[in-house]
């Protein structure tokens, strides 16, 4: 893949910070990052909508906490990554974070604020064919003290701390605009999804999968992707878009899949997410579609802050 193409894809993946109308409602967000075991990065994001739409429980304002475990790798010809998002209700304000992660751990932290800063606005790129996301933010840095512990299923990763540096911020809602040009294959069964995208703007193929589930009060979203050049042949299709073939050459996918119009989707394709291995992406319950055109921007449905090297998009 051309070096310029990789740079362009990096622009697509990064959420750009820029100015939004002053009337936009701000959200309270606290976040910190630490190293997990087995090579994983751990990000913790507490988030709460702005006034006046607040609920209270026991004198504490109610929000949510998302723990994100992820890792990725890259070479000259490909990149791959996987992440798992664990979200629970939380008692959260500018002084403390309290959340019960059930079988995955617990958060009981006090926020000690230090210095304040305002992220300066930046102009959005004028090239509308690039998907860009916009958000403004002001924040204070500080330490989160007392206790945090987390471990994933079968302890694929774990982390604990009694003190970690982070930040508390007021952030506007994340908004995305623009579109991609390309050919997109979608397959879905229940909460399990697979997407194959050939991006014509950058000559790249992106294979991605996601799965949503629940463990008690914990909502879990798992994501995985693989990025290669379009000429690597991992996602091919005929000119009339009546058939397609998916043959990943590396992690986190294994096997193959074939699409035939109008919705046939067969093969042995599977994916390994953090905390859940060898999840089938084909079978009788799947429905698939193949189309070409403009693919609109979509804001992430989960917090956009992720471990280094993992995109939330």
Q: What is the pLDDT of residue 133?
A: 67
Q: What is the pLDDT of residue 238?
A: 95
- Could you report the per-residue pLDDT of 38-71, keeping only the tens digit for each? 999 999 999 886 544 344 444 445 799 999 999 9
Distance separating alpha carbons of residues 17 and 30, to the nearest angstrom: 17
- Could you report the per-residue pLDDT of 73-132, keeping only the tens digit for each? 999 889 999 999 999 999 998 899 999 999 999 999 998 877 655 554 444 444 444 566
Peptide bond into 52 cis (omega under 30): yes
Pinpoint the alpha helices (H) of the chain. 3-13
What is the number of residues in the chain? 313
Q: Is the pLDDT of residue 160 over 70?
A: yes
By the 8 A CB rule, do 99 and 83 touch? no
Residues 6+ apart with CB under 8 A from 13: 311, 313
By the 8 A CB rule, do 288 and 187 touch? yes
Question: ∠ CA 93-97-101 to the nearest 5 degrees?
Answer: 135
The HSE-up count of residue 222 (CA atoms within 13 Å, CB side) is 21
Q: Is the pLDDT of residue 304 over 60?
A: no
Stronger pLDDT, 152 or 5, i.e. the higher one: 152
Q: What is the pLDDT of residue 139?
A: 78
In this prediction the pTM is 0.80
């Amino acid at each position: 893949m051309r070096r310029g193409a990789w740079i362009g894809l990096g622009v697509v993946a990064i959420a750009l910070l820029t100015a939004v109308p002053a009337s936009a409602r701000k959200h309270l967000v606290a976040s910190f990052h630490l190293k997990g075991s087995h090579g994983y990065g751990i990000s913790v994001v507490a988030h709460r909508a702005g006034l006046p739409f607040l609920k209270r429980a026991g004198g504490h304002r109610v929000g949510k906490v998302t723990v994100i475990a992820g890792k990725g790798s890259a070479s000259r010809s490909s990149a791959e990554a996987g992440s798992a998002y664990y979200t629970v209700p939380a008692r959260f304000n500018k002084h403390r974070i309290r959340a019960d992660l059930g079988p995955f751990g617990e958060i009981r932290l006090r926020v000690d604020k230090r210095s304040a800063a305002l992220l300066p606005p930046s102009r959005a790129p004028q090239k509308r064919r690039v998907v860009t996301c916009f958000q403004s933010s002001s924040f204070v840095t500080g330490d989160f003290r007392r206790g945090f512990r987390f471990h994933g299923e079968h302890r694929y990763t774990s982390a604990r701390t009694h003190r970690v540096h982070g930040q508390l911020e007021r952030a506007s809602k994340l908004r995305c605009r623009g579109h991609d040009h390309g050919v997109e294959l979608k397959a879905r069964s229940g909460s399990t999804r697979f997407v194959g995208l050939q991006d014509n703007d950058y000559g790249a193929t992106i294979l991605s999968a996601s799965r949503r589930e629940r463990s008690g009060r914990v909502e879990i979203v798992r994501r995985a992707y693989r990025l290669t050049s379009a000429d690597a042949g991992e996602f091919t299709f005929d000119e009339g878009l009546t058939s397609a073939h998916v043959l990943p050459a590396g992690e986190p996918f294994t096997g193959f899949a074939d699409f035939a119009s109008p919705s046939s989707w067969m093969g042995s394709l599977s994916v390994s997410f953090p905390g859940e291995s060898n999840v089938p992406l084909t079978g009788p319950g799947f429905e698939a579609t193949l189309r070409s055109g403009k693919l609109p921007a979509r804001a992430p449905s989960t917090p956009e802050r992720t471990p280094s090297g993992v995109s939330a998009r």
